[in-house]
Amino acid sequence: MTKEEAQKEIVELTEKINYHNELYYQKNTSEISDYEFDQLLEKLITLENDFPEFKYPDSPSQRVGGTITKEFETVYHKYPMLSLSNTYSTEELEDFDKRVAKGLNGEPYEYFCELKFDGVALSLTYQNGVLARGVTRGDGTRGDDITNNVKTIRTIPLRLKGDCPQEFEARGEAFLPRENFTRLNREREDIGEEPYANARNTASGTLKMQDSSIVAKRGLDCYLYSMMSDGDGTSTHETSINDLIRLGFNVSPTYAKCANMAEVIDYIHRWETKRLELPLETDGIVIKVNSVKQQNVLGYTAKSPRWAIAFKYKAESAATVLKNITYQVGRTGAVTPVAELQPVFLAGTTVKRASLHNANEIARLDLRIGDTVYVEKGGEIIPKVTGVDHGKRPTGSVSVEYIKNCPECGTALVRYEGEAVHYCPNLTGCPPQIKGRVEHFIQRKAMNIDSLGERTINQLYEKGLVRSPADLYDLTFDDVYQLEGFKDLSTQNLLKGIEASRETEFESVLFALGIRYVGKTVAEKLAGSLLNIDNLANATYEELIEVPEIGERIAQSVLSYFEEPENRREIERLKSAGVQMEIAEKENTAVSAVLSDKTFVVSGVFENFSRDQLKETIKNHGGKVISAISGKLDFLLAGDKMGPAKKEKAEKLGVRIISESDFLKMIEP
Ligand code: IVH
């Protein structure tokens, strides 16, 4: 392909992808399948890798990330990012209103109200309508350049639609929508990771991640609320909000213009509970003088504008009595302490229980049974205990001693180094762990046996019929028929569901096994590289960390999983039941057969291709990719930074070591 052809194709693909993206994200429809869309994107990425001179800063390929930033560059803000002074009462707001009236010498003025979004402040610089830079607030004077991560936020336009100043800055708040936060935490708990405490910190941590492809998957969003540029600019805040909307930015539709402080207070009341239905956390209202000219007259203090103020809602909290502490054991054996409370009404619901997180939290609060505690409903869905009223402590109360044994099976609990959580190590004998593993196994993302639910699993466990996922495949009609609520049809349905799960692709099976830290994406990576369960079970630490995105912690976890004879037995049983233990042949993407019967190990970092791309290319030309170097191996395709042990081994065994360019010559048409 000539340079000109490549450029033309890149432009065409970009237009197509942008068109489909807009349909999907803005109009909620689509004209092509996800697969077809991925194909277009993949083609664009490959072309951009081949012709990096045509990789434009607003390319839709930037949305999927893939860049690694080791250290974010510090950049100075052109206009400092100030903060707002806070108020908690309407009296203080009246005072603010008086100060504004006085500052404006009796001139008429109006306010513009917005919600105060609880996320991470971002500054986005656009040059000639293209997103040039995304920077964090930092200390207000300088922040981190996180452009690559910002570009993965789908609602932030990479190129603007209408007329705009040649250079300007848009400011707003990046956030992790509640829904995505819950999903992320569910996924984390699913693979034995501790859930994140709140959406705000998670959003902030996500934006500082080195690997932008992980940022892309988290699903951050961003609401914009101000626009600044040199020169005349707009006449009111309202016009800049309208400009932001016109240019294609995501502006929360919750704003309102208010003629006076009474209308502002109405707005505050209106959103007090309604804000809880919004997709993100909000902790108050921002009140701004609408006219930009008047804003300039009022000016700034060292830290904040005199023309704006934040009204903060008080976090709803209630006092109640701690009756007891109970302990829950999850699928991975993690123990969570729960405060059992005297029921109390809080923000629309009755609260009876609150999370206490772990032993450190109990110690930090110095909790005692009978204490009067404060509970709060914050950003988290489950209320939490935030403090103790020591004045009301009953005499003679003693500190809570954290349990030493599992409340479910009695086994002594363990605490791993550096972790706050206690675990029950009795993997195979502790009921919630056994049931949890079966529940994990059957879920939609795993084996997708939707004819089975928590209640049935409970019954199957109680009757001693199921002690591990493999037992499901031994269930007979009579076993199921005797369960409460099962008739002919429901029994057949359940068995049919189990039967059908035998066809579930290996990637999902691997996730279903519930290996700690092996989530769906990790399972896909492992399956894609190691191809079948035997290769995985026999892979060495070095081979595992060779797999893209697999680090030390996951590699160790996989190794310890396969060290357990019980796990190996379970896999053998699943295998005999006909569950897929190798990846299916992909549809025919063959380009040639020049490499047929040749085996390759791909190792190191390459100049023009990722390891995955090279592996794909080998397969497309009839070759086979394996992970271990042996005497039978034909070629070691070696890039930079390949471990010296590998090279030595290959040399010793007489394996041919080839470079990226040698390889490309081999497949030249
Ligand atoms: S306007 C001079 N509008 O609150 C600062 N800020 O305490 C003007 N924030 O750093 C900012 N929602 O991160 C503005 N609707 C909104 C906001 C908002 C949240 C945050 C922002 C800022 C902090 C100031």
Calculate how far, in angstroms, residue 68's C-alpha sits from the geometric centre of ligand 1: 29
**Which mutation among 79, 87, 115, 117 tests ligand 1's pocket best, with the greatest number of atoms within 8 A of CB?**
117
- Long-range interactions of 398-403: CB distance < 8 A, separation 24+: 398/368, 399/366, 399/367, 399/368, 400/325, 400/362, 400/367, 400/368, 400/369, 402/337, 402/359, 402/362, 403/327, 403/335
Looking at residue 425, its pLDDT comes to 94
Walk across the sheet containing 120-127 and list its strands.
130-136, 120-127, 167-175, 221-228
Dihedral sign for Cα 438, 444, 448, 450, please: positive
**Which mutation among 116, 295, 303, 312 tests ligand 1's pocket best, with the greatest number of atoms within 8 A of CB?**
116
The mean per-residue pLDDT over the stretch 3-17 comes to 93
User: Which residue's C-alpha comes closest to atom 18 of ligand 1?
Assistant: 116
Calculate how far, in angstroms, residue 84's C-alpha sits from the geometric centre of ligand 1: 7
Helix (H, G, I), strand (E, B) or coil at 388: strand
Residue 307 in this model has a pLDDT that exceeds 60: yes
Return d(Cα 349, Cα 207) in angstroms, integer.
34
Calculate how far, in angstroms, residue 146's C-alpha sits from the geometric centre of ligand 1: 19
Query: Is 65 within 8 Å of 211 (Cβ atoms)?
Result: yes
Return d(Cα 319, Cα 393) in angstroms, integer.
13
Confidence of residue 120 (pLDDT cuts 50, 70, 90): very high
CB atoms within 10 A of CB 394: 11
Residue 231 in this model has a pLDDT that exceeds 60: yes
Query: Is 482 within 8 Å of 494 (Cβ atoms)?
Result: no
Atom of ligand 1 nearest to the CA of 226: 1
* The residue type at 632: K
Calculate how far, in angstroms, residue 652's C-alpha sits from the geometric centre of ligand 1: 63
The mean per-residue pLDDT over the stretch 106-128 comes to 96
The packing angle between helices 199-207 and 178-190, to 10°, is 80
Atom of ligand 1 nearest to the CA of 288: 1
Dihedral sign for Cα 275, 279, 285, 290, please: negative
User: Which residue's C-alpha comes closest to atom 13 of ligand 1?
Assistant: 121
Looking at residue 645, its pLDDT comes to 78
Calculate how far, in angstroms, residue 169's C-alpha sits from the geometric centre of ligand 1: 15
**Which mutation among 77, 79, 84 tests ligand 1's pocket best, with the greatest number of atoms within 8 A of CB?**
84
Q: Which two tokens stand for residue 136?
A: 């964090």
Least confident piece of the model among 17-26, 100-109, 174-183, 576-585: 17-26
Calculate how far, in angstroms, residue 114's C-alpha sits from the geometric centre of ligand 1: 9
Pick the catalytic residue from 27, 70, 78, 116. Answer: 116
Looking at residue 587, its pLDDT comes to 58
Looking at residue 157, its pLDDT comes to 93
Residue 139 in this model has a pLDDT that exceeds 80: yes
Return d(Cα 86, Cα 314) in angstroms, integer.
12
Identify the residues whose C-beta falls under 6 Å from ligand 1.
Answer: 82-84, 114, 116-117, 121, 137, 173, 225-226, 286, 304-305, 308, 310
Atom of ligand 1 nearest to the CA of 305: 2
Calculate how far, in angstroms, residue 228's C-alpha sits from the geometric centre of ligand 1: 14
Residue 347 in this model has a pLDDT that exceeds 90: no
Q: What is the share, in percent, of the chain residues with pLDDT greater than 90?
A: 67
Least confident piece of the model among 23-27, 325-329, 434-438: 23-27
Return d(Cα 409, Cα 406) in angstroms, integer.
6
- Long-range interactions of 300-307: CB distance < 8 A, separation 24+: 300/82, 303/82, 303/83, 303/85, 304/82, 304/83, 304/84, 304/85, 305/82, 305/84, 306/99, 306/100, 306/103, 307/100
**Which mutation among 79, 83, 257 tests ligand 1's pocket best, with the greatest number of atoms within 8 A of CB?**
83
User: Which residue's C-alpha comes closest to atom 17 of ligand 1?
Assistant: 116
DSSP 44-100: HHHHHHH-GGG--TT-GGGGG---B-SSPPEEE-SS------EE-SHHHHHHHHHHH
The mean per-residue pLDDT over the stretch 147-161 comes to 93
Q: What is the share, in percent, of the chain residues with pLDDT greater than 70?
A: 99
Domains and CATH numbers, the chain: 3-55 (1.10.287.610), 75-312 (3.30.470.30), 319-424 (2.40.50.140), 431-503 (1.10.150.20), 506-576 (1.10.150.20), 599-666 (3.40.50.10190)
Looking at residue 190, its pLDDT comes to 83
Residue 588 in this model has a pLDDT that exceeds 70: no
Q: What is the pTM of this model?
A: 0.73
Calculate how far, in angstroms, residue 83's C-alpha sits from the geometric centre of ligand 1: 7
142: phi then psi, degrees, rounded to nearest 5? -145, 145
The mean per-residue pLDDT over the stretch 147-169 comes to 93
Atom of ligand 1 nearest to the CA of 121: 13
Looking at residue 137, its pLDDT comes to 95
Looking at the DSSP bridge assignments, the partners of residue 405 are 412
Atom of ligand 1 nearest to the CA of 84: 7
Read off the pLDDT of residues 448-467 as tens digits, 9 standing for 90 and up: 999 999 999 999 999 999 99
The mean per-residue pLDDT over the stretch 73-91 comes to 93
User: Which residue's C-alpha comes closest to atom 16 of ligand 1?
Assistant: 116
Beta strands (DSSP E) in 510-666 are 599-603, 624-625, 635-638, 656-658
Return d(Cα 531, Cα 465) in angstroms, integer.
32
* Short-list 362, 285, 357, 349, CA closest to 316: 349
116 is a catalytic site residue: yes
